[in-house]
């Protein structure tokens, strides 16, 4: 039988099913915000996981991921803000940042506790989990202009240890390539 899992205003724009088939994580537009939710596949309580995620091209672009479900189906990584914090005002003379105030966050798939920051960095482009679900792996941009800007690969455990750069030292003008 067909079962409606969402309600209220706004529309679902993207969803993924957890590896164990027990959860659906989805983006839903609500007025001027894009929020992240989870719901058990067989129905039940819909839980808001995050309030402010990027709109538009970030959802359809192959180079900027918006959320990922862990291989063990227990948690979600997302790029955004956990609450509707106002977008910071750009600082004159600083490099352009497309998504100011956003970063990479980790949250239990059932929403049983709040989000924790993985990378307080609005330049995170793509990310995922290690196979054992214990680490976030992500690509972020570094540098301040087109001549020095490049992409680098990092890993961070969810135990709170500092992020570790995974790629070798790169020559000037060279970047990590990602898909």
The pLDDT value recorded for residue 7 is: 65
Averaged pLDDT, 165-176: 74
The pair of structure tokens assigned to 15 is 């969803």
CA distance 121 to 81: 11
CB 166 within 8 A of CB 178: no
CA distance 129 to 157: 10
pLDDT surpassing 90 at residue 32? no
Q: What is the pTM of this model?
A: 0.82
Tell me what the pLDDT averaged over the chain comes to.
81
Percent of the chain with pLDDT over 70: 71
Q: What confidence category does residue 6 fall into, taking pLDDT thresholds of 50, 70 and 90?
A: low
The pLDDT value recorded for residue 59 is: 46
Averaged pLDDT, 90-112: 79
């Amino acid at each position: 039988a067909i079962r409606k899992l969402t309600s209220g205003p706004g529309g679902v724009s993207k969803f993924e099913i957890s590896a164990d088939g027990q959860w659906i994580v989805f983006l839903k537009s609500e007025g001027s915000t894009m929020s992240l939710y989870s719901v058990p596949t067989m129905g039940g309580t819909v839980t808001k996981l995050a309030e402010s995620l990027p709109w538009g091209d970030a959802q359809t672009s192959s180079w900027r991921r918006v959320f990922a479900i862990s291989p063990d189906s227990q948690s979600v990584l997302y790029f955004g803000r956990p609450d509707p914090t106002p977008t910071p005002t750009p600082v004159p003379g600083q490099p352009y940042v497309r998504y100011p105030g956003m970063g990479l966050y980790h949250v239990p798939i059932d929403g049983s506790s709040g989000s924790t920051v993985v990378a307080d960095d609005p330049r995170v482009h793509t990310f995922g989990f290690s196979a054992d679900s214990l680490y976030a792996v992500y690509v972020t941009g570094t540098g301040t202009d087109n001549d020095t800007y490049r992409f680098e690969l990092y890993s961070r455990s969810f135990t709170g240890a500092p992020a570790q750069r995974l790629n070798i030292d790169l020559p000037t003008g060279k970047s990590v390539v990602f898909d």
